[in-house]
Amino acid sequence: MQIHDYVTKISKHPAFLAWYAYDEPRNPDWIAQLKILYRKLHEWDPAHPVIGCDNTPGGCIALAEETTDIIALDLYPNPRRDTDASEKPVINIFHGTKMMFQSIKEKSIWNIPQAFSHEEWNRKGYRSPTFPEIRCFTYSAIVAGVTGILPYKIGSNGKNKRGIFISPDMRIGYLEGICPEISTLSEVLLADETQEISVDNPNIKIMVKKYNGRTFLFAVNPSMKKQGKVSFRTKSSSSQWSVLSEDRKVSLSNGTFTDAFDLDAVHIYTDDTAFHTGIDIVQLQKKIDQEKKK
């Protein structure tokens, strides 16, 4: 009855979103109990969904049906201190999410971008992600089709367990960059997808949305390598498209435009020249760099 009383009390709070039921369960007995908990939570509080996560697509697929309403993948690339690259290919986030969509039906699929705990990872040679890295991690999942992003802090005690708040890259990057950017784009992201744009480089993953008669192209480079001249072919008759959050434009010729993609680059293009996210990632990066100097 202790769990029942807790659920009844917490579920009435106006800020309550969902039940975060588990994080990477491994023990079969634990998983059996999670199945019971899932049924009980729906019985006691049918108004709030249940969230669970695992760090592998296969684990998410195995858990999704009987333990949760929202299954989240927390596949971490793990950037290393001794290199500019990540230990695990970022493309795994994209492919892993796609695998989940092929196997999981009638459940919401979310992504949990990399958090960071100095106590656990710093001694192992890892570092907290940079702003471009976390933006790439996040949009790799979005382009793959997730409907939710759940960044979080780790633990509750000590400065070394601040998770996404551990560094200016993550704190400023999320709270002043990625989160408000996604919020502004939320209706676009929930709009219908279209296949009217193609890209000539398979390393660049794209998603195209149609919103209020306008086209929005999300393009991400999770290849862990720079991609030079990338060409996009559209059906657009416009001569210029805006690159959102970057305060620049690209020119089109016969519906085609080209752009360069640095390591971890994310570019969001639109033919809606009046649309703005209110974010400038160049200025945001300058603010992050200044914060690091303090």
Sheet with 227-233: strands ordered across: 198-199, 227-233, 256-261
**What is the rounded distance in angstroms from the CA atom of residue 123 to the CA atom of residue 235?**
51
How far, in Å, are 170, 215, 289 from residue 292 at the CA level? Answer: 12, 37, 5
Same structural domain, 169 and 205: no
**Tally of domains within the chain:** 2
The reported pLDDT for the residue numbered 161 is 60
Q: In what order do the strands lie in the sheet with 108-111?
A: 19-23, 50-54, 70-73, 108-111, 148-149
Q: Are residues 251 and 122 in the same domain?
A: no
Tens of pLDDT, residue by residue over 52-97, are: 999 999 999 999 999 999 999 999 999 988 887 889 999 999 999 9
The CATH code of the domain that includes 264 is 2.60.40.1180
Looking at the domain assignment, is residue 291 inside a domain? no
Q: For the chain, what is the mean pLDDT?
A: 92
Regarding whether 147 and 22 lie in a shared domain, the answer is yes
Residues 111 and 172 in one domain: yes
| Within-domain flag for 68 | yes
Identify the domain containing residue 222 by its residue range. Answer: 192-276
Same domain, 242 and 107: no
Which pLDDT value is given to residue 236?
Answer: 92
Model confidence pLDDT, tens digit, residues 13-53: 999 999 999 999 999 999 999 999 999 999 999 999 999 99
Residues 117 and 179 in one domain: yes
The CATH number linked to 24 is 3.20.20.80
In a domain, 47, yes or no: yes
Instruction: Flag whether 159 is in a domain.
Output: yes
* Cα gap 200→233, rounded to integer Å: 8
- For residue 178, what is the DSSP state? I
Q: Per the domain annotation, does 101 fall within a domain?
A: yes
Asked whether residue 290 is assigned to any structural domain, the reply reads: no
| 292 within a domain of the structure (yes/no) | no
Residue 13 burial by Cβ neighbours in a 10 Å radius (0-12, 13-18, 19+): exposed
Same domain, 174 and 197: no
Residue ranges in the chain whose pLDDT is less than 50: none
